[in-house]
Amino acid sequence: MAAIKLLAYAPQGMALGEIAEQLDLPKSGVFRLLADLVRLGLVRQDTAGGSYFLTMGLVSLAFQHLAHIGVVDAAQPVLDRLAAESAELVRLGIIDGDRQVWVAKAQGARSGLIYDAQMGDVAQLSCMASGHAWLAQLDEAEAVRLVMQQGLAGEGQYGPNAPRTVSELIAVLAETSQRGYALVVESSAPGMSAIAAPVYHPTSGLVVGTVSIGGPSVRLSRDRLEALSGFLLAAAAELSDLCAGSPYLMSAHPSAAVPESNPR
């Protein structure tokens, strides 16, 4: 996996010696490892003795996995509608153990500044609306553990309003819980704002993901975000209903149960 991660960030390919040096392993062992990956169709070598590249094999496996989860395809019309209503980027994040990973999106912006992001990225829980929407459903100790596992924002990291202490984070999560959805302005990055709401599994009551609207702060002022919250919460409720047929989502983070006060 370490070799695969190296190659994922090297679209130009990497030589055997460079991979061995980065992994701090002998060339002979790395050569055998890469030969196995080539045999499995996950890595290719451009010429004999040349650089190694990732193939589309892992991408194919990832898309097959998402298809079998059974939610992403069904969710796309909901995301498309929310993107049209907000005229901004909408994303669906799925809880995967201790992480939240973006698996689907819809772009509603058509002109001016357009914010977009790669699928498969992991949410920075401490400063992103999608992270706050999830953490606010956990008990305080578990929320802090997940954030400290990733790390709080350091000086100059993320946006100027990102929580930089545990007490600041707890205060933000308390506001999020009371509001019913997360709202951040220049927290994840300078000049960016977002709102996010949790998606619940209708049977287990677990938080299985989040849906968010994000874009430039020049368009998404606090008033504009609050005006969009009704559309966001309606989409989150619809997405929650779609989760019923997914056994995979039943195994979401075990502490993310819906609080008794939650109207759902």
- Residues 175, 125, 91, 261: what is their CA dihedral angle, to the nearest 10 degrees? -40
Give the domain extent around 45: 2-55
Q: Do the domain assignments include residue 257? A: no
Q: In this structure, are 17 and 105 located in the same domain?
A: no
Q: What pLDDT, in 10s, does the model give residues 20-71?
A: 999 999 999 999 999 999 988 889 888 766 899 988 777 767 666 665 565 6
Closest alpha carbon to 136 in 170, 113, 163, 165: 170
Q: Do the domain assignments include residue 47? A: yes
The amino acid at residue 61 is L
Q: Do the domain assignments include residue 77? A: yes
> Over the range 229-247, which residues count as b (16 or more CB within 10 Å of their CB) and which as e?
bebbbebbbbbbebbeebe
Counting the structural domains of the chain, the total is 2
pLDDT of residue 264: 40
pLDDT of residue 257: 45
Q: Do the domain assignments include residue 122? A: yes
Which domain CATH number covers 195? 3.30.450.40
pLDDT of residue 110: 73
Residue 147 has pLDDT above 90, yes or no: yes
| Cβ-contact 89, 214 below 8 angstroms | yes
CA gyration radius, the chain? 20
Q: What pLDDT, in 10s, does the model give residues 95-122?
A: 888 888 888 899 987 765 555 566 557 8
Q: What pLDDT, in 10s, does the model give residues 223-233?
A: 999 999 999 99
What SS3 state is found at 4? helix
Q: What pLDDT, in 10s, does the model give residues 177-189?
A: 999 999 999 999 9
pLDDT of residue 251: 52
CA distance 188 to 157: 9
Q: In this structure, are 106 and 151 located in the same domain?
A: yes
The amino acid at residue 241 is D
Which backbone phi and psi does 96 adopt, to 5 degrees? -130, 90
Q: In this structure, are 225 and 167 located in the same domain?
A: yes
Q: In this structure, are 137 and 88 located in the same domain?
A: yes
Residue 143 has pLDDT above 90, yes or no: yes
Return the number of other C-beta atoms located less than 10 Å from residue 107's C-beta.
18
The percent of residues in the chain predicted with pLDDT above 70, rounded, is 83
Q: In this structure, are 128 and 228 located in the same domain?
A: yes
Question: Can you read off the two tokens belonging to residue 187?
Answer: 């927290």
Q: In this structure, are 204 and 152 located in the same domain?
A: yes
pLDDT of residue 149: 92
Q: In this structure, are 129 and 230 located in the same domain?
A: yes
Q: Which residues, in sequence order, are CB contacts of 264 under 8 Å at separation 6+?
A: 200, 202, 205, 237, 240, 258
pLDDT of residue 259: 45
